[in-house]
Chains A and B, each alone.
Chain A
Amino acid sequence: MKKSSHPFKKFFSKVWHTIRKIYLQSVRPFLAKINTLLRHNFIYRERNHQVILFSFIRIRITRRLRHALYGYLFIILWLIGIAFFTLYPLGYSFYLSFHQAYYNLQQGVVTTFVGLNNYLNIFRSQTLVPLYTNYVGKMLVAVPIIIVFSIIIAVLVNMPIKTKGLWRTIFFLPVIISTGPVINELNAQSAITLPNLQGSGIYGYIVNNLPSLLADPLTTVINSMLLILWYAGIPILIFLAGLQKIDPSLYEAASMDGASPWMRFWKITLPSLMPFTGISIIYVVVSMSLFVEPGGILDLTRTHMLVGAPDSAFWFGYGYAAAMAWVYFMLMVLLILGFTRLTREKRVKQL
């Protein structure tokens, strides 16, 4: 082995040395020249900790200024990105949502102002309004379930048991494999529902006795129970991290005073986990809302954007699609605010 590697080594070191020689002899002096040229010219000059622009604007370079400049240098990519790919599109889609907009090959996007008509059309729509109410209802039912479930699992995993890593691996697995098409396929095979839950009397009771506004979200939650519990992956880890930050001496003191495990859970564990519910709720709401189910609002938004024929009866242009997305986003923000407000009030009460 050694013998055969020897000529290779020789060859590569030879190549490396020639490259290095060329770089040192001709490239580096050239770069240095450019550098000095950039620092000492009519427009920009550096002297005695001062920058001189056009020979008459003098700026003292302090440490603070230099730090600020470097800070901007590091985040400049982000600044460009936020302007072009987030803030401008945000403003533009808000603007579009008040307009009727079509794409025209000759003129680009043609917009005509229609006021609030796009939003009104959404509320008039027979297909969209049930989708929105179903979304909100599903969230209202599912998010508390997920949070409670993930707290229970986190507490269980945090107990002195063996193979902690294994359990953690299992409960985090869905975050890795839950990709849209796979979930849709599982959905089609009805592999995401607990068979016992669907067959039980509760299901029939809900369908028969509640108004459809209430029953629909409940049945969707029951039908996709496993899928909903799958969203608990990251909240479980967040709560686990929170549990590990609780001082064990608190528990010791409590058990000295005769508190049962049950009491300890309610009086110590749950209050200390309260600060972590906010971030978990945000995570759950965001990841659940952004999942695109076939026939859902997000899927419809996409169809409204992509179907190109403006004469089609069901196509209302980019403006309508933007308005749909904005209503969805607003509902999402309202949900997040509502849920986090709820947990915060509880915390105040307990204090």
Chain B
Amino acid sequence: MKLPLIPTMETQQKWRKVWFGKTLTDGLLYKLIIYILLISFSYIYLYPLLFMLINSLKSVDDLINPGVKWIPTVLMWENYERAFEVLKLPQSLIDSTVYVLKVSVSATLSSALIGYGFARFEFPFKKLFFAIMLATFILPQQVTMVANMLIFRELKIISSEWTMLLPAMTGQGINAAIYILIFYTFYKTIPGILIESAEVDGAGQLRIFRSVVLPLAIPSFVIVFLFSFVWYWNESFITGLYVGDKVTLPLWLQAFRASYETIFPPGTPGAELNEAILLSGNMLTILPLLLLYFFGQKLFTQSIDKTGITGE
């Protein structure tokens, strides 16, 4: 075996081909740059989450010690135990899940009906209504909330779940325009022949909707349900205003400091509220959504195509 000490033209060219490729875009260097960029961007995205996870496990000494940044010296699972207790966890999780389920299921069902009405039938003022429906996406709830508060007060449903349920049932809830749009674009893709043949067979419009369209629309139902679940779960401002404090888990988190002090009164040795406990409360709050996301992440990330907002 004789290895060439001085690189010949051939090996030089070979290496150049590996690094730069034929057209630069298929070389190793190019790929390396892309991966480095992607990894650094995803570091930006994951940094708050990692920060939360690591700091929630730190002890008080680690929090103060500037030498400890990413790897805590001891894992304080106690933080989580305390946060669990302060958030009243099993019960509050069940309560908020039941509440959000109610609201998001009604939002999903109503937008399925409304989307079908817009997609399948021609009626006077349809274009106007559709434009108004899309415009409600831009309209912040804050503009209407003054009057809505007064309406709910008149209806005597203030600080009850109905304040969220009624708008959700009538297609006016949070981001309702997006849900209706998802269903609308889906119904537009159903071939008209399918529905016409059902019509010829003597099915009424309601029957067609129930037996032909609904079974086809199940994927859209799942997507809309997931999104509305997440968005209603995250909406703490409107929920806190209309329904009341401590309805959903994020609202429990908002009151974390106050409820911590009632459970562990200040002055008790070793029970001071520190950042680690607060952050473990945060982790526990977003944990259900994280689980939901990792099981259904394909549905979430591929749904944008299905909204059809990119179609124009």
Chain A contact residues, CB within 8 Å of chain B: 64, 67-75, 77-82, 84-86, 88-90, 92-93, 96, 103, 108-109, 153, 156-157, 159, 161, 165, 167-182, 184-186, 189, 191-192, 194, 226, 229-230, 234, 237-238, 240-242, 245, 255, 260-261, 275-276, 279, 282, 286, 289-290, 292, 298, 301-302, 305-306, 318, 321-322, 325-326, 328-329, 332-333, 336
Contacts and interface: CB of A to CB of B under 8 A. Distances in A.
B292 to A, nearest CB: 8
B122 A71 contact: yes
Given A189-B55, A191-B47, A298-B142, A67 B122 contact: yes
B24 A261 contact: yes
Contacts of B301: 165, 168-169, 172, 237
A86 B205 contact: no
Contacts of B116: 74
12 contacts: A70-B117, A84-B170, A90-B144, A103-B150, A165-B298, A169-B293, A170-B46, A189-B51, A237-B301, A286-B138, A305-B146, A328-B140
Interface in B281-299: 282, 285-286, 289-290, 292-294, 297-298
B244 interface: no
A143 to B, nearest CB: 15
B275 interface: yes
Contact of B48 (A156, A167, A192): A192
Interface of B: 23-25, 31, 34-35, 37-38, 41-42, 44-49, 51-52, 55, 110, 113-114, 116-118, 120-124, 126, 129, 132-133, 136-151, 153-154, 166-167, 169-172, 180, 205, 209, 230, 233-237, 241, 250-251, 253-254, 275, 278-279, 282, 285-286, 289-290, 292-294, 297-298, 300-301, 304-305, 309-310, 312
Contacts of B55: 189, 191
A92 B47 contact: no
Contact of A81 (B24, B171, B233, B300): B171
B286 A182 contact: yes
B254 to A, nearest CB: 4
Contacts of B25: 261
A89 B42 contact: no
A181 B140 CA distance: 19
Contacts of B293: 169, 173, 176-177
A92 to B, nearest CB: 4
Contact of A325 (B142, B275, B285): B142
B122 to A, nearest CB: 6
A238 B150 contact: no
A333 B165 CA distance: 28
Nearest to B254: A181
A234 B180 CA distance: 18
B279 A176 contact: no
A169 B297 contact: yes
A89 B144 contact: yes
A275 B312 contact: yes
A178 B234 contact: yes
B45 A86 contact: no
Given A81-B171, A82-B170, A241-B305, 19 more contacts: A67-B123, A68-B123, A70-B205, A77-B113, A78-B171, A85-B170, A92-B150, A93-B143, A109-B150, A170-B42, A171-B41, A176-B290, A179-B285, A181-B282, A260-B24, A286-B140, A298-B142, A306-B241, A325-B143
Nearest to A172: B301
B304 A90 contact: no
A186 B305 contact: no
A170 B148 contact: no
Most buried by B among A109, A180, A238: A180
